[in-house]
Structure 1
Amino acid sequence: MKQQLLTMPGTQLDFAPELDTLSAVDRRLFRHFGWGPDHSVPRVALHRMIEEYALARPGAVAVEHLGNRMSYGELSGHAERLAARLAEYGVRPGDHVALVVRRGIPMVVGILAILKAGAAYVPQDARIVRPAMLRHILHTTGARVVLTQSDLPVTVPAGHHTLDIDAVMTERGEVRRPRVEITPDQPCYILFTSGTTGKPNGVAVTHANLANLLLTQPGDLGIRPGTVVGQILNIAFDMAAWEILGCLTHGGTLLIRGDDIGAVARRADVLIATPTILSTLDPDKCAKVRTVAVAGEPCPRPLADRWAATRTFYNGCGPTEVTIVNTMQHHHPEAPLLTIGRPTPNNTVYVLDEHQHPCPIGKTGEMWAGGDCVSAGYLANPGLNTERYRPDPFLGGGRMMFRTRDLGRWTPDGELEHLGRTDDQVKIRGFRVELDSVSTVLENLPGCTRAVTLKVDDSTLVAFVQPETVDPAAAVQAVAEALPYYCTPAAVHPMPALPMTSRGKIDKAQLLDVARGEEPAE
């Protein structure tokens, strides 16, 4: 039985009574700043656009990995065969199919095949997914079929079918598969995010949600036929869909990395990354790159300035639940601030207080997201849906808005300053401290490329910086001079590189273990 998702009826731009708390000027700016451009977006399932390129340019290179290439015609043909096999296994439009693979061309074939079958793909990296996690995913999504590769150590629970992508790709002969029709409001993928109860939550993101980002500026990143897009992120991370589907729906060439991220970055025209991953790359060695987009965690200003000096650089923000990013800034080094920009097309952002009333322009509040970015909700978690998705009083018409748990404020010229997460505001000795503000001071030290600050206990902060050549005494002194005394870390640990999670973000849990265990930061 399919899980019931949130519905999002049409838009109705009515002002809510909540705006009465604002001055006349702020009411006008609330609407002027908070509404993204109104753009028309094709109402189409994304795989149809890939199929169109396969018909129009069958010989164009769609995907490359470690020297192996596959054209659009070949990609569509292999995916068509695999989709037929999925149909034989009972996969129907609206179903969910687990995709447990390693990075490579079969991964892309699997994604397209699942979409051709009318289903949503549920991506997991076969190298790191644990049996308990896979069982939870299969139970939550109701997926009965697992697409994988025969040489991978994937343990699938009894009662589920496995289908080997590699084996199907070697089959020959004519394929006959009834064409299936789906609506753009059906899920394209199910992404699992970390949950507060210890169990990850499955978020359903629709074709329409994705089309609104991928098929409008600036989210399309200028990708056109022949553009080389680096594929460097973990498939279980939503930004990987920006790489993969953002490339293929525009006829680009997806360049999938091996172990060496730099080898792909040196050949790509477009890079999408987390700041942590981008900080490992040297822009001087990536001369071909013309466009860079970062999201997933706060970006250090020095990192943004370095890349923006010689290419188009976008700083974005948005949790999985609002479709990868719902705000973007085209950053320039001479800009007074590094912000997360403005709402992307057909989206809204509201800065609200704890009572969900609009904050005056310039005041800090929690960002809520509205518009076409708002995803279809969590699977099998009605309580969390009620908590995080609320009726949108500003758009009306039955639309929903999402509580991002990001803190922000509007600048006088209508851009959003990201001020950390609500859970990154901590109390130290009774004083409220924003951890990101400490990290920002550290990242502005000469030679420091990345920093993170953590709360160890009610009276202690510690910080970690990269590279190991950063002077810890100078780092402590810099914070002491810039911020109140209670913001000063008890220790700053230089490291050659901060550890990353599988999704390319700083691994705060690992660093916290180091801090609490008083282990050497190596």
Structure 2
Amino acid sequence: MPLRHLTPRDQHLFWQYGRGADTPVHEPLVHRAIERHAIVHPHAVAAEHHGATLTYGELDRYAGALAARLAREGVRPGDHVGLFARRSIPMLVGLFAVLKAGAAYVPQDIGRTSPAQLADVIRTAGTRVILTQKEHVPRVPLPGGHRLIALDDPAPYDPGPVPLLPPHPDDGCCVLFVPGTAGRRTHAVKLTHRNIANLLLTEPGGLGIRPGDRVAQLLGIASGPAAWEILGCLTHGATLAVRGEDPGAAARTATVLIATAAVLSGIDPADCPRLRTVAVAGEPCPRPLADRWSRRAAFFHCRGPAEATLATTVSRHTRSAGRPLPNSTLYVLGADRRALPIGETGEVWAGGDCVSAGYLGDDTLNAERYAPDPFLGAGRAMFRTRDLGRWTADGDLEHLGRPADRLGPPGERPLLRLAGERTAGTVAVTR
């Protein structure tokens, strides 16, 4: 019994505070949720960019044809396909096509990522097929035996009678490259369909997005919050307003914003009259900025690393620090990975359906950050967030920062608080 060292009261509160609601997810495959809207509302606008529009019916048709071409190229469930593109409608078609083909998309902003970095992404993610736009073809360092497909070439949209093999919910949906620590290079984190569907298709992670909403696509496509913007919009049948050079132009028409604090700081909430919901992710949001936006719309702080599917808690500004998301767990553990009594400070671990499939090609780091979950059992894994925290008497998880693992060897590392912890009341995990 992993909790037998705790008092009966703490054993009870361990589960009461640390376990999210058991909530059914109606569609565990992300692309199937998008396909449903294409069937029911084929003429609804899925995306807008620079005056061009794409309906859900068109998105489904174009992506289906491209997915058939990917299948002819040998793409199968479990594979990774590079999506090296700029924000655009063809980028969305490529993303959806990769999912339809059963593979995981590997997003990189081709305009911002150097050829050397792209080469590292190709090696680490093992991509054999790469999608890009014609103008960026010369920037892709294509190894021998790899295939490059231009997204804006009409050729990919010839469907052909190619059967598409469905992925399993535990197959990859996307691969995100996140910054390392202590001088390490970036790490490739694989998120599964189960991970992302659990975040987007339950509340509060769904952010109440519904058909008729407009979600601004403001962030770089390689970031985790961008996956939340794009897939959170399309799985709920809303319209994605893809930004151009001016992020404010897309934000001004939006009903929902999912953004970083840095992006929000450059937009005037008074210019967003239709706005209903704002979610900040990926970095702390200073309280003055959160206060300013919360006067315009419901404002949520989303806290969690990519390895735990972008958020472990989503909490309303000025209210509680947040509880675990549905079908997920949060534990405060000691150095021996034993559960601590309520109120004691320890390291925060995440469990349940939010735990990603791990790092690609880094068994050492996987062994350091992921471990069998002794509390859920049944072969489940838990992830070490490296954040310090404690449960309050009211059952909220109070985040107390992270050991400064970049500043010296063990035993000589001072304890740092995350910037913004005392200003925003709740903070996003930075990396």
Q: TM-score, normalised by structure 1?
A: 0.76
User: For residue 487 of structure 1, what is the aligned residue in structure 2?
Assistant: none
Which residue is 1:373 aligned to?
354
Cα distance change of structure 1 residues 378 and 251 upon mapping to structure 2, 3 Å threshold: same
> Per-residue deviation at 1:362?
2.3
Which residue of structure 1 lines up, in the alignment, with residue 39 of structure 2? 55
Contact residue 64 and residue 159 of structure 2 kept, 8 A = no
What is the alpha-carbon distance in structure 2 between the residues aligned to residue 399 and residue 188 of structure 1?
A: 19
- Between stretches 240-249 and 19-28, larger displacement belongs to 19-28
The corresponding residue for 1:390 is 371
Relative contact order, higher structure (CA 8 A, sep 6+)? 2
How far apart are 1:406 and its partner, in Å? 1.5
1:290 deviation in Å? 0.4
How big is the shift at 1:172?
Answer: 6.7
Amino acid at match of 1:37: A
Question: Any unmatched runs of 5+ in structure 2?
Answer: none
Q: SS at the partner of 1:436?
A: coil
The equivalent residue for 1:124 is 108
SS in 2 for 1:151: helix
Tell me what 1:434 maps to.
Answer: 416
Equivalents in 1 of 2:193, 2:179: separation in Å? 23
Seen in structure 2, the aligned counterparts of structure 1 residues 138 and 433 have a Cα distance that, compared at 3 Å, is: closer
Which residue, out of 257, 271, 278, partners 1:271?
A: 257
Distance apart, 1:435 and its partner CA: 4.4
- Counterpart in 1 of 2:381? 400
Q: Residues 66 and 158 of structure 2 are in contact (CA less than 8 Å); yes or no, is this contact kept in structure 1?
A: no
**C-alpha distance in 2 between matches for 1:299 and 1:414:** 23
Q: Indicate conservation of the 8 Å contact 2:28/2:198, yes or no.
A: no
For the residue of structure 1 that corresponds to 2:418, the secondary structure is: helix
- The separation in 2 between residues aligned to 1:136 and 1:248, in whole angstroms, is 30
Q: Any conservation in 2 of the 1:79–1:112 contact (CA below 8 Å)?
A: yes
How far off is 1:281 after superposition?
A: 2.1
**Structure 2 Cα separation of the partners of residues 43 and 91 of structure 1:** 23
Q: Deviations over 1:90-134 (max 9, x none)?
A: 212221100100111111001001111111100000012122222
Q: Determine helix, strand or coil for the equivalent of 1:135.
A: helix
- Give the share of equivalent positions with the same residue, in percent: 53
8 Å contact from structure 2 (residues 265, 289) kept in 1? yes
Q: Is the 8 A contact 1:274 1:505 kept in 2?
A: no
Distance in 2 between the 1:203 and 1:76 partners? 27
Alignment partner of 1:239 out of 225, 228, 235: 225
Partner SS, residue 227 of structure 2: helix
Larger radius of gyration: 1
- Matched with 1:313 is 299
Q: How far apart, CA to CA, are the structure 2 residues paired with 1:229 and 1:22? A: 46
Post-superposition CA distance 1:316-345 (Å, at most 9, x none): 11111111112111224xx4xx62x11000
Partner of 1:477: none
Q: Counterpart of 1:37 in 2: which secondary structure? A: coil
Please name the residue that 1:221 is paired with. 207
Deviations along 1:121-152, one digit per CA (max 9) or x if unpaired, are: 00000012122222222122221111001101
Contact 2:305/2:429, CA 8 A, preserved across alignment: no
1:80 is the counterpart of 2:64: yes
Match status 1:64 vs 2:45: no
Q: What is the letter of the counterpart of residue 131 of structure 2?
A: L
Give how far 1:200 is off.
1.8
Rounded Cα–Cα distance in structure 2 between residues aligned with 1:412 and 1:26: 11
Aligned alpha-carbon RMSD (Å): 2.4
SS of 1:351 mapped into structure 2: strand
* CA apart distance, 1:505: 10
In the other structure, the counterpart of 1:114 is 98
Deviation string 1:350-386 (CA, Å, 9 cap, x unpaired) is: 1112221223322222110000111111111111111
What displacement does 1:224 show? 1.0
Q: What is the SS of the residue equivalent to 1:378?
A: coil
Residue aligning to 1:454: none
Residue of structure 1 aligned with 2:308, choices 319, 322, 326: 322
Q: Secondary structure at the residue paired with 1:343?
A: coil
Matches within 5 A, 1:493-512: none
Q: Distance in 1 between matches of 2:390 and 2:269?
A: 31
Give the SS at the match of 2:48: strand
Aligned counterparts of 1:26 and 1:172: Cα–Cα separation in 2? 58
1:440–1:393 distance in 2 versus 1, CA, 3 Å: closer
Q: Distance in 2 between matches of 1:39 and 1:128?
A: 39
8 Å Cα contact 2:259/2:280 also seen in 1: yes
Inter-partner Cα distance in structure 2 for 1:46 and 1:172: 22
Matched with 1:157 is: 142
Report the CA distance between 1:173 and its aligned residue.
5.8
Q: 1:133 aligns with which of 86, 92, 117?
A: 117
Match of 2:26 in 1: 42
* Code of the aligned partner of 1:94: G
Cα contact 1:321–1:402 (8 A) shared by 2: yes
1:183 to 168, 181, 185: 168
CA distance in 2, matches of 1:317, 1:174: 41
For residue 210 of structure 1, report the CA deviation from its aligned partner: 0.7
CA distance in 2, matches of 1:343, 1:304: 22
- Offset, 1:302: 2.4
Deviates more, 1:243-252 or 1:36-45: 36-45
**Amino acid across the alignment from 1:365:** G
Deviations 1:239-290 (A, max 9, x none): 1111111111111101111111111111111111112222222222222110
Distance 1:171 1:157, change over 3 A: closer
